Amino acid sequence: MKIKICGMKETGNIREVTALSPGYMGFIFYPMSKRYVGADFEMPEIPSSIKKVGVFVNDAMKNISLKVKKYKLDLIQLHGDESPEFCKRAGARAKVIKAFGVDGDFDFTVISDYEECCDYFLFDSKTAEYGGSGKNFDAGLLKNYKSSKPFFISGGIGVEEVQRLKSQVSMAFAIDVNSKFEIEPGLKDMNKLKLLFDALSGK
């Protein structure tokens, strides 16, 4: 199971996390987020083995295109109410992860319209703020997922949840971690992250 570490914005911290070699690193370009990288963000050098994910919420395609080009993003994560048509247009610029907020009422059939225009799906806890709640959703709901499209699972994942998720959602492509591994919003706790990598490697 791959790891995506999201909400990165501090240069020194990004370099520290890079040394752990996660599969993906996420950068939030949504100004309303506590983990927004900021208008003057400078991307430090990151090995090509770590895929850079730009997270956007109901943004204009022009702005997304500019960020993809400026920061050489490998993937675009659309975390808002973007339509399949919008996802298809974004896919001409980089690979696309479409996020969905999940609760007990979520209808997994809605993702069928996104099958042909997205490379991955991401399932997060449903909130009014487009993610970032630090809360889990019932991973058992993913038994209703019938697609073969690889997906990320997010939403308040900490070290203590990793073993449960490994067994309960073994079909997940990757876990997406953020707030449970922070000292403060946007600053990751390296000791906690090392515990995560150890847990996933079976140490």
- Tell me the three state secondary structure of residue 76: strand
Cβ–Cβ under 8 Å, residues 4 and 53: yes
CA 121/CA 123 separation, integer angstroms: 7
Helix boundaries (H) for 32-180: 61-71, 84-90, 159-168
CA 191/CA 194 separation, integer angstroms: 5
- Tell me the three state secondary structure of residue 28: strand
Residues annotated as part of the active site = 6, 124
Question: In this structure, what DSSP letter does residue 74 have?
Answer: S
